[in-house]
Structure 1
Amino acid sequence: MLLVATFKIRPVVLEDVEQLNGLMLRYIVDFYKGKTPEGTKLEDHIKHLLASDEAGTQFVAETDDGRLAAFATLYFSFSTTRVQKIAILNDLFVDAEFRGAGLGEKLFQHVLDYTKNEGYAYMSWQTAIDNTSAQALYKKMGGKNINSEWIHYEIEHH
């Protein structure tokens, strides 16, 4: 159980890139069992989001001693039917060392407030069927599992 009492949730800044890169690698490789991104791809992606207000944004939760404990990534799109911008919460990750202190809930609420305050029509997200802890958090925060009439497709490029 985490003993650190407070976290500062804030937008990512350039000085976070190295530490955030490590946190995101733990998310990709350790948590999702994905492949390590090649070369500087992940670092370049973080920098791209920092440089582009239109692509998306990232937030981090920082401990009192300056460590990054969690991150969330929002990507931005647009809804033609709503004629309004929308946000997609693509990632919300709390490092294993910091779980159990309600940090995921605080970070989720922060990004939800951000999307509301910035005038987004809605925020959407997905989670794995077997990620029951995330599902419990999202249900607690008011998220609804929308079993819509839409079918999700994708084509993966190797």
Structure 2
Amino acid sequence: MKIEVCDVSDIPELARVFVEMESYYFGNEAASYDEMLSYLTHRVFSAYSGVTVLGAWKNGVLVGFATFTLMFPAPKCSGQAYMKDLFTSAAVRGQGVGKSLMRFIAAFAIEHGCTRFDWTAETTNPKAAEFYLSLGASLIEEKQYFRLDHQRLATFAMQNEQP
């Protein structure tokens, strides 16, 4: 298996696996290949995304990916790696692809001065929780996860600042 940081030349292959992920989570509402190709080109690989995309290749075929970022500052002049997404194609699940992607991020984080590696998982995906716990991860229950989405995000962004 080969794990590497992806670049724009990998977008066509990545689009296929990203669509597979979308289909896994959203069924018929998943983005099409062409929509995903545009999204990856203009958003994920844009100068402002701040994300690193990893690919996992098995026998020359892209079979999984992870997206992450390094964030600073963190305690004691360190950094924090944050993984946004991890996905492996159905045909290779349970074959170590996800673990290899996460191990790459862990080593990358250490190499770049990070002392933490964090991510979230949907409570509706208990297999993900089992997998992450099997790696030795801790479930951080004292943290709260907040979100502004859709209309609430737009409303907040448009509010005039008042003391």
- TM-score category (smaller protein): 0.7 to 0.9
Preserved CA contact (<8 Å) 1:17 1:46: no
Q: 1:21 aligns with which of 11, 15, 31?
A: 15
CA separation of 1:119 and 1:80: change in aligned 2, threshold 3 A: closer
Identity of aligned residues (%): 23
TM-score when normalising by structure 1: 0.80
Q: Give me the whole-angstrom Cα distance separating, in 2, the residues matched to 1:13 and 1:79.
A: 26
Which AA in structure 2 matches 1:100?
A: G
Q: Which amino acid aligns with 2:41?
A: E
Residue 142 of structure 1: which of 128, 136, 139 is its match?
Answer: 136
Partner of 1:99: 93
Q: Once superposed, what is the RMSD of the aligned Cα atoms?
A: 2.2
Name the counterpart of 1:77.
71
Structure 1: where are the runs of 5+ without partners?
1-6
Using the alignment, how far apart are the partners of 1:86 and 1:9 within structure 2? 21
Distance 1:101 1:80 in 2: 33
Output the CA distance in 1 between the equivalents of 2:83 and 2:108: 12
Which among 132, 146, 150 is matched to residue 157 of structure 1?
Answer: 150
The structure-2 alpha-carbon separation of the partners of 1:119 and 1:81, relative to structure 1 and needing over 3 Å to count, comes to closer
Q: Which runs of at least 4 in structure 1 moved beyond 6 Å after TM superposition?
A: none
Higher relative contact order structure (alpha carbons within 8 Å, sequence separation ≥ 6): 1
1:80 Cα deviation from its structure 2 partner: 5.0
User: Structure 1 or 2: larger helix share?
Assistant: 2
In our comparison, the structure showing a higher alpha carbon Rg is 2
Count of equivalent residues: 146
Structure 1 counterpart SS, 2:87: strand
Q: Residues 83-111 of structure 1: CA distance to partner in whole angstroms, max 9, x if unpaired?
A: 43222101110011111212111221111
Alignment of 1:62 with 2:57, yes or no, is yes
Amino acid at match of 1:44: H
